[in-house]
């Protein structure tokens, strides 16, 4: 039987706190979502002043990154490159930059999605959250 790591509630809280700290430090009003490896929502927070729609976009980005096993930006790039048929991919609704998979020992164990500021800033927040897992 193979085994793999998974996100615990403590992990999720650590990621969420670090992502929130990064957003607050930069004055960015965003929504942050964390999902498991199947794209199921484990945690979500909408910071004060974040656009209401960001509370829908963040978990969609996280879901796409978890199910696709790669950053959601890849799908945005494919679509922008002309492969419009990717818009019909089942279960992938957040094909925008800002979803980052959580990878431990080569396994995708979940993802973080952020929405509310520029795409590269969304990614910065997500990566800051994920980095908290390896901080001892």
Domain of 55: which CATH number?
Answer: 3.30.450.150
- The radius of gyration computed from the CA coordinates of the chain, to the nearest angstrom, equals 14
87 vs 37, higher pLDDT: 37
Query: Is 32 part of a structural domain of the chain?
Result: yes
Query: Is 41 part of a structural domain of the chain?
Result: yes
Please state, rounded to an integer, the average pLDDT across all residues of the chain: 96
* Residue 135's pLDDT band (cuts 50, 70, 90): confident
- Domain count within the chain: 1
Query: Is 3 part of a structural domain of the chain?
Result: no
Structural domain of 114: 9-132
Q: What pLDDT digit, counting tens, does each position of 55-68 carry?
A: 999 999 999 999 99
31-54: b or e for each residue (b if 16 or more CB lie within 10 Å)?
Answer: bbbbbbbebeebbbbbeeebeeeb
Q: What is the percentage of the chain residues whose pLDDT exceeds 90?
A: 91
Q: What pLDDT digit, counting tens, does each position of 82-102 carry?
A: 999 988 988 889 999 999 999
Query: Is 4 part of a structural domain of the chain?
Result: no
Query: Is 70 part of a structural domain of the chain?
Result: yes
- Phi then psi for residue 7, to 5 deg, are -80, 125
Please determine, for residue 120, whether its predicted confidence score (pLDDT) is greater than 90: yes
**Out of 38-42, 46-50, 87-91, 117-121, least confident range:** 87-91
Q: What pLDDT is attached to residue 94?
A: 93
Q: What pLDDT is attached to residue 136?
A: 54
Please determine, for residue 10, whether its predicted confidence score (pLDDT) is greater than 90: yes
Provide mean pLDDT across the span 20-37: 98
Query: Is 76 part of a structural domain of the chain?
Result: yes
């Amino acid at each position: 039987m193979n085994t793999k790591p998974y996100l615990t509630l403590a992990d999720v809280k650590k990621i969420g706190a670090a992502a929130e700290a990064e957003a607050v430090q930069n004055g960015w009003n965003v929504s942050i979502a964390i999902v498991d490896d199947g794209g199921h929502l484990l945690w979500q927070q909408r910071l004060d002043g974040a656009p209401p729609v960001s509370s829908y976009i963040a978990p969609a980005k996280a879901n796409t990154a978890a199910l696709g096993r790669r950053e959601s930006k890849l799908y945005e790039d494919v679509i922008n490159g002309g492969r419009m048929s990717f818009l019909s991919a089942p279960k992938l609704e957040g094909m925008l930059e800002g979803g980052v998979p959580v990878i431990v020992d080569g396994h995708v164990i979940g993802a973080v999605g952020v929405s509310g500021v520029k795409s590269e800033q969304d990614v910065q927040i997500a990566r800051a959250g994920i980095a908290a897992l390896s901080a001892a």
